[in-house]
Amino acid sequence: MTINDIQITRSIIEEYYTSVKQLLECDVVIVGGGPAGMTAAYFAAKHGLAVVVLESRLAPGGGMWGGGMFFNQVIFQEEARELLDELRIEYKQNTEGYLVVPSYRAVAGLILNVDKAGARILNGITAEDVMVRQSKVCGVVINWTAAMKLGMHVDPLCIGARVVIDATGHDASIVRIYFAKSGNKLQPDEGMNIKTASMWAEKGEKMVVEHTRFITDGLIAAGMSVSSLFNTPRMGPIFGGMLFSGHKAAQLAVDYIKKERK
Exactly one of 33, 109, 139, 233 binds ligand 48F (CB under 6 A); that residue is 33
Exactly one of 23, 26, 28, 31 binds ligand 48F (CB under 6 A); that residue is 31
Comparing CB distances to ligand 48F, the nearer of 56 and 232 is 56
Exactly one of 139, 169, 218, 233 binds ligand 48F (CB under 6 A); that residue is 169
Residue 60's SS3 state is: coil
User: Which stretches does DSSP call E strand in 41-172?
Assistant: 51-55, 73-76, 92-93, 99-102, 120-123, 125-133, 136-144, 157-166
Comparing CB distances to ligand 48F, the nearer of 33 and 218 is 33
| Minimum separation from the CB atom of position 33 to ligand 48F (A) | 5
Beta carbons of 51 and 118 less than 8 angstroms apart? yes
Question: Taking CB under 6 A as the rule, does residue 57 contact ligand 48F?
Answer: yes
Exactly one of 235, 252, 253, 257 binds ligand 48F (CB under 6 A); that residue is 235
CA distance 73 to 106: 9
Exactly one of 26, 28, 30, 32 binds ligand 48F (CB under 6 A); that residue is 32
Beta carbons of 29 and 121 less than 8 angstroms apart? no
Q: Which residues contact 185 (CB under 8 A, 6 or more apart)?
A: 179
CA distance 219 to 222: 10
Question: Taking CB under 6 A as the rule, does residue 35 contact ligand 48F?
Answer: yes
Comparing CB distances to ligand 48F, the nearer of 40 and 138 is 40
